[in-house]
Amino acid sequence: MDRRKLIVVATIVTVALTALAAGVVWQRYASSMPTIGEIDDLREYESSWRSINSEASIRVDDWKNKTVVLNFWGSWCPPCIAEMPLLDRFNAEYGEQGVRVVGVVVDREQAAKDFLQSNQIQFPSIIAQMDVTNEIMELLGNDDGVLPYTVTFSQTGERLFSHEGPLAEEDLQKLIK
């Protein structure tokens, strides 16, 4: 083998080994990152949030044995606004069957309160400091801050699915079947 071919082969092997090592390091890093896989994992954040459209506080214990639809939204977000009536209807219709829709505000508090009131949205919404909300979204898999963003949890507290963008009626119907 001439010297040129040897250099090319050595370069290719070096690049391949570097890529393999980077992949292994990334896999270890990604698998060590905390995630929220169960509703109880949200418990550590509940002291930082408060309800903005209900006198009652909202706690993780309130969601025991309930199917929970956690929806991140903002009043400035057209797709969020579009799906709010659907979420409100779903909460009202299936609340007696153990379904809870909970909004997580990604907005200024007064703007969110005004929106909820003027649109007569009844499901509870919580607000926290933006850094806390962003951390929760990232731990739920929304690294890019896409809104609306919805995460559902089963009655046993296990995470069922996440959805970026507005929900359709069919997405919610899966929860009650």
Predicted confidence at residue 36, as pLDDT, reads 80
Given a cut of 70, the residues of the chain with pLDDT beneath it are: 1, 8-10, 13, 15-34
Strand order, beta sheet including 67-73: 50-51, 125-127, 99-105, 67-73, 149-153, 159-164
pTM recorded for the entire structure: 0.80
Predicted confidence at residue 57, as pLDDT, reads 86
Give domain limits for the chain: 1-33, 39-176
Predicted confidence at residue 31, as pLDDT, reads 43
The answer to whether the CB of 88 falls within 8 A of the CB of 124 is no
Predicted confidence at residue 94, as pLDDT, reads 95
Pairing state between β 99-105 and 67-73: parallel
Q: Tokens 């070096």 identify what position? A: 14
Please state which CATH number belongs to domain 39-176.
3.40.30.10
Predicted confidence at residue 13, as pLDDT, reads 66
Predicted confidence at residue 35, as pLDDT, reads 74
Q: How far apart are CA 142 and CA 125, in angstroms?
A: 19
Predicted confidence at residue 21, as pLDDT, reads 59
